[in-house]
Structure 1
């Protein structure tokens, strides 16, 4: 069965061609929605889609053409002689050793993603969810902001705890809506915001067993995610804006949700 067949009772997971068509916004509405549903359950496929979208953005920046008008590019490289490959490998080995010596005394001052600290699983999930859903124009959320009451009640029941949606109006971002996602060990919620220029931020919320108050930064490409745990709930604020501005917003969100951001200072 195929994602192009809207009458398939149990569609197969999308193949590479279907995922590529999804990234190019070339699937019919029903097939598009089916792939979206699958990505919410398959983190590997979601990560692949996120990578492809990042490549499309890089091509856009390189070629100066709108993403919607992009053609597919195949880069053909001339084979590198074996002696050159060996030389390059040796150079990288020496450079890597030097970099390790250089970063050793600075490691404690680097963000998690640069000093080798493994970020908490929900931070990675939040980043992938941001990369997958924020480019969506037709289906960015399951429940729109026009039904905010229903959205909050629904997600509160699914996460089995009262949720609230912090306002980001003072930063120029309005609520787009939200959706239910799978977390590491249960359901998770994603709330999406957008400013007048179309830039988007997301707030990811999920239950956590531990209750540490650490405030950390996770980076992936041009995306940044500030994440923390408060009252056994994990929160992650994701977006491509400047680190300082995202941190400011995350601190306000933490305070609005009953956290204690003063412990981060």
Structure 2
């Protein structure tokens, strides 16, 4: 793809967003698209959906990253590659709903369950990423916190998980159900990752609950109009202990749940 045709100062079109998902843009254009996504929830949701579909397609067809590129313009790949990709998409069309079903928010469980499922989706989509797991790295933690605090209209803080062997990787802005949401990602020395999802919620409550999806677990709670969800594949008891400490560090009252 010819990066010279892109104009980062303008609103990214579908081709540019597609190239962003496929890591085909220059560093300058990549930075420009990330900046745009931070202010355009619809475009951010489109990018997140493409990434989820791309991961599902790989799982269904065993395709390589090259084969799962979202090419909006006419492909120049050999006809046999295009045929193979098209066949794979046919299989994906039949099986994609089954693969993604656990990732789709089910809104019948109430507001709290909804944001917990969104946190689980965000964990499933972004933690496998090797090159771009976050938008802003931990090296720019002050900027990350200020940026996300401004977008969520709430002063945020990032609790330390060093006690449990997890270091901050960074964070990103996500579209929530009723407004923006933030995801902070942590990683230990073995590469295992945890995420803390934060978003505004329309009602307050004191419940501390667990949501499971396969080997992923999410402890979630609401405090002072904000919903928090800590997600990861670690043992339930350990994740609960970490979640209680995180809740306390963020001003909650976890003693009421123990």
Q: Give the TM-score normalised by the residue count of structure 1.
A: 0.64
Could you say what secondary structure the match of 1:120 adopts? Answer: helix
C-alpha spacing 1:4/1:226, structure 2 compared with 1 (3 Å)? farther
CA contact 1:3–1:14 (8 Å) conserved in 2: no
Q: Distance in 2 between matches of 1:254 and 1:211?
A: 15
After TM superposition, give the deviation of residue 167 of structure 1 in Å.
Answer: 0.5
Alignment of structure 1 residues 137-216 onto 2, 5 Å: 137-216=130-209
Residue in 1 aligned with 2:211? 218
Alignment of structure 1 residues 113-128 onto 2, 5 Å: 117=109, 120-128=113-121
Q: Distance in 2 between matches of 1:59 and 1:172?
A: 36
C-alpha spacing 1:3/1:231, structure 2 compared with 1 (3 Å)? farther
Residue in 2 aligned with 1:248? 241
Residue in 2 aligned with 1:106? none
Q: 1:136 aligns with which of 126, 129, 139?
A: 129
Q: 5+ unaligned residues in a row in structure 1: which ranges? A: 61-66, 78-112
Q: Distance in 1 between matches of 2:180 and 2:12?
A: 23
Q: Which string of whole-angstrom CA distances, capped at 9 and with x for unpartnered residues, describes residues 46-70 of structure 1?
A: 356436536746888xxxxxx8799
Could you say what secondary structure the match of 1:46 adopts? Answer: helix
Q: Which string of whole-angstrom CA distances, capped at 9 and with x for unpartnered residues, describes residues 152-176 of structure 1?
A: 2222222222211101001110011
Residue 263 of structure 1 pairs with residue 246 of structure 2:
no
User: Max radius of gyration: which structure?
Assistant: 1
For this pair of structures, how many residues does the alignment match? Answer: 220
Q: Distance in 1 between matches of 2:205 and 2:3?
A: 43
Q: 5+ unaligned residues in a row in structure 2: which ranges? A: 69-84, 92-104
After TM superposition, give the deviation of residue 29 of structure 1 in Å.
Answer: 5.3
C-alpha spacing 1:150/1:51, structure 2 compared with 1 (3 Å)? same
Q: Give the TM-score normalised by the residue count of structure 2.
A: 0.66
C-alpha spacing 1:203/1:58, structure 2 compared with 1 (3 Å)? farther
